[in-house]
Amino acid sequence: MENWKEALDRGVLAVSVKTEAMVESGRVRSALTAARRDMEAAVNDLGFQYYNGWLSGGLDDAALLAACQRVQEIHGEVLALQNRLDRIQAGRRTAEGAAFCAACGKKLIPGSRYCDGCGAPVGR
């Protein structure tokens, strides 16, 4: 009876960890999408400022520098969020020492060379 309870406890713990990782992954994905939109808007703004300065015959170096710095700042946020998402996903794939397919997320059979869910080659 004790083995059954231990197995159940491990299963509940694994589901809890995976659920937490999925929720966090969703939050980071949302933040990443927003940061990418902000970056696109900042790059568009930079291009607009440059083009208007060119049309008027006088580029405003201070405004262009500020716009470039804003793009650089947002780019740093995008990279940090992507790294965080990659770490979350890597943690999910190796929960409880099990290996999961990088393509579809299905649990891999130990020693398999290809995922039996999607057929993707298993990275070693």
Token pair listed for 7: 């197995």
Question: Sign of torsion, CA 96 101 105 109?
Answer: negative
Strands annotated E in the chain: none
How many residues in the chain? Answer: 124
- In angstroms, how far is the first alpha carbon of the chain from the final one? 37
Q: Are 117 and 101 in contact (CB under 8 A)?
A: yes
- Element housing 50 (H / E): helix 2-56
Single pTM value for the model: 0.64
In tens digits, the chain (124 residues) has pLDDT values of 567 776 666 666 666 667 777 888 899 999 999 999 999 999 999 999 999 999 999 999 999 999 999 999 999 999 999 999 988 877 765 555 567 777 787 778 888 888 888 888 887 5
Structural domain boundaries in the chain: 2-93, 99-124
